[in-house]
Amino acid sequence: MKRNLSVRAVVAAFAVLTVPAGTALAGAGDYEFQPVASEVKHGSQAEVAVRLVDKRSGNPVSGAVIFTTRMDMAPDGMEMMTTSVENLPETESGIYRFRANLSMAGGWRFKVAAKVQGEPDTVQGEVVLKALP
């Protein structure tokens, strides 16, 4: 079962934003991907959700287009072990959901890139998830 973000989840998960060199101060770095739940039961139909927030306001960012993703087991030293990720509809503002084949319990790294309305630079981030046995 999925849980809401807990203290443990905050400790277990992190988000990274990368900004291309030369980017002005305002830009893609104003946005952050956060895990909605950092633990998910492993399985071929595992559902994963990330929240996209504008760090300046703390508000959720809706209507972003997620156009590349990668899911691999880098946190467990298996970067070569990748899996498929399917986008699901955004049903809640700023919450982006995916279905992934998390075939193995353990740590998974989810890399997300997004186009945000009004933001010319690509927003990139990653979250670390733990697939439970």
| Shortest reach from residue 41's CB to Cu ion, in Å | 16
Report if residue 81 touches Cu ion, rule: CB under 5 A: yes
Residue range at the interface with Cu ion (CB under 5 A); choices 27-35, 46-54, 77-85, 91-99: 77-85
Among residues 78, 95, 105, 132, which is the contact residue for Cu ion, using CB under 5 A? 78
Sign of the Cα pseudo-torsion (40, 11, 50, 15, in order): negative
Q: Is 36 in the site for Cu ion (CB under 5 A)?
A: no
Rounded CA-CA distance 35/101 in Å is 17
Whether the Cβ atoms of residue 128 and residue 9 lie closer than 8 Å to each other: no
Q: Quick check: 73 binds Cu ion (CB under 5 A)?
A: yes
Could you tell me if 19 and 121 are in contact, meaning their C-beta atoms sit under 8 angstroms apart?
Answer: yes
Q: Is 88 in contact with 69 (CB distance < 8 Å)?
A: no
Among 5, 104, 105, 128, binds Cu ion (CB under 5 A): 104
Catalog residues that contact Cu ion under the rule CB under 5 A: 73, 78, 81, 104
